Amino acid sequence: MIRTYWTLALMAVGIAGSITLSSSSSGVAQAQNQNRTGSPGSSSTCNACHNGGNFGASVAISVLDPNSGEEVTEYLPGGQYVLEVAVNHSFGSPLRYGMQATAVLDGSGDNAGTFSNPSANTQLEDVQGLHIFEHNAASQANTFMVDWTAPMGGGDVTVYASGLAAAGSTGTNGDQYAGASLTIPEAQIVVEVGGCTYDFACNYNPEAAFDDGSCEVVSCALQGDLNGDLAVTTSDLLIFLSVFGETL
């Protein structure tokens, strides 16, 4: 199964094991029908309720090739990738982690491609027609993954993500919010064109990237132009006279 890893290294974006996450430990889209990813038109992000924590929270986003696992900087239309959310912290000890993310086309704000095959600690939801990828419970694991099929075209795609690092209490105090976005452009596919690359040929093509063997010099030849300079001059006459009368 090809997987696509978009690494939102939501550094310290967690949720305590029994924490309610504003009554949304099962995911704010699932529990509240809210989009809190920070995308255009979304509701207020999680820091409206969760605060007081100090874990050095941050969010980093990466897109990985499904076969090599290498990070990519552009997407191929219709290509398969994996969106991976890795939750980390720089200090302190958050006990649980959670996140919510979406991918939209820049300009229109429409869904960018599709999500599928979420990892065991994640779920797919829909909020007013916008696809959402989020935790399905307060997670001890610090990574969240989902397959992502890129759109068939449409330009730049931006991923928006919100997350929490939770202290382990049953309330929202002592948690820290972090958010980030990543824009990845559509790959520009260049198709090389072959043609005649010899400038003396009748069908010379200065735009040709490689010679395809099609060169010809007959169709544009000037009668009497013996030296090939595209003009009939004394030089051509001298060439003619130099061989006049000779036989094989």
pLDDT at 111 over 80: yes
pLDDT at 1 over 50: no
Residue 178: what pLDDT? 87
Residue 25: what pLDDT? 67
Question: What average pLDDT does this structure show over 190-202?
Answer: 82
Residue with the bigger pLDDT between 9 and 196: it is: 196
Residue 93: what pLDDT? 82
Give the tens place of pLDDT for each residue, 4-15.
333 333 333 333
Residue with the bigger pLDDT between 217 and 65: it is: 65
pLDDT at 28 over 70: yes
Residue 169: what pLDDT? 60
The Cα 93–Cα 82 span in angstroms is: 28
Question: What average pLDDT does this structure show over 137-153?
Answer: 88
The Cα 135–Cα 119 span in angstroms is: 9
pLDDT at 129 over 80: yes
* Predicted model pTM: 0.70
Nearest residue to 51 via CA among 180, 144, 190, 174 = 174
Residue 20: what pLDDT? 37
Q: How is the chain split into domains, by residue range?
A: 5-184, 190-243
Give domain 5-184's CATH number out of 2.160.20, 2.60.40, 2.40.50, 3.40.50. 2.60.40
Strands 96-105 and 210-211: unpaired
Q: Please, which residues bridge with residue 102 across strands?
A: 160
SS3 130: strand
pLDDT at 162 over 70: yes
Residue 222: what pLDDT? 67
What's the mean pLDDT when you consider all of the chain? 80
Q: Do the beta carbons of residue 21 and residue 97 sit within 8 Å?
A: no
pLDDT at 226 over 60: no
Residue 210: what pLDDT? 85
Which amino acid is it at 46? C
